[in-house]
Structure 1
């Protein structure tokens, strides 16, 4: 990695928690300058715009959280166990980034203001749905999950339940909602398991 690439990566890593905590509109270039120790020109030397930096910061944040929660998924055998693992990690492993889940934060932040970020969030949710649905389809093929299961419906239910519980957890200041959803998801899996 060249010195310029290292500097660019350092800016992204330092800006990511700022965007995650404050949102796109709430995070100023002055905040990023303070965090990085760079002047405005130093930042714009590596990024075309604040929007460009915010997009890279989101991609970085998402990769950090995805690695934490799914990095070891290939070592788990069985589709039902993989789904349980995804849910367990979501409940037990909070985002290591200040501000919490970058996917939820950015989805809320960009829903009606920043088309580029909204597109990135939409792609991230689409990818998450695709990955969970693929696990469900494999479970159906392997005879672990009932053939009457709809992989897309189950993926949406899992994601919406986990993200909704995360929001309640943040509002309540405790993990009760996440634990309740984890229990409910276990019951749901039991209903679909053959």
Structure 2
């Protein structure tokens, strides 16, 4: 029996969501299509009914995963305060991103922090999805930085996000738990000056 278009679209969405989680957990290269399809309750052969290649799946998983990060980041800013208090909103973004929970849960975290070196070597569509994600994050963060000129807020947002992404990455690399946590705290403290 053939699936309806709605069922096919739902299956495709489920594959992308599972792939996003697996890619964040294992990396692009270590994530196999067979594993993704098995977790989706499908056969490996069914993959090509939904996607042309693994590269296409990776690009879409990156976009979907980063949309979740953007939503969480915006939610963090909105829950912190009313729209007039940018400092509290920015601080909430930093606290949420540089949390031990984010560090310890890469399968639900930011693609950019977990896969930066792999994304830099990815195909053009995946790099385009990563670029859009970073640009969207910059715009979101810039709206919550207390600068009068948009150019200055954008520059501060680029700096802040680069520091935050690097801090999460290095805090995951470091095998000393106290040092790892101190990286997060040190970057939070420095970003508090923005």
TM range (shorter): 0.7 to 0.9
CA RMSD of aligned residues (A): 2.4
- Which whole-Å CA distance do the structure 2 matches of 1:178 and 1:168 have between them? 9
Unaligned 5+ segments in structure 1 are: 142-146, 190-194
Count of residue correspondences: 180
Q: Does the alignment pair 1:43 with 2:47?
A: yes
SS of aligned partner of 2:107:
coil
5 Å-filtered alignment, 1:112-127, equals 112-127=121-136
Unaligned 5+ segments in structure 2 are: none
- What does residue 181 of structure 1 align with? 187
- What does residue 84 of structure 1 align with? 91
Cα pair distance change 1:49/1:59, threshold 3 Å: same
- What does residue 144 of structure 1 align with? none
Deviations 1:5-38 (A, max 9, x none): 2211111122212222233222222222332231
Deviations 1:141-184 (A, max 9, x none): 4xxxxx6x822221122111111111121012432201111111
2:139 to 127, 130, 133: 130
SS of aligned partner of 2:51:
coil
Q: Does the alignment pair 1:68 with 2:72?
A: yes
- TM-score with structure 2 setting the length: 0.80
In the TM superposition, structure 1's runs of 4+ consecutive aligned residues that sit over 6 Å from their partners are none
- Which whole-Å CA distance do the structure 2 matches of 1:97 and 1:65 have between them? 12
Q: Does the alignment pair 1:170 with 2:177?
A: no
- TM-score with structure 1 setting the length: 0.80
Deviations 1:106-128 (A, max 9, x none): 33212123221111111111111
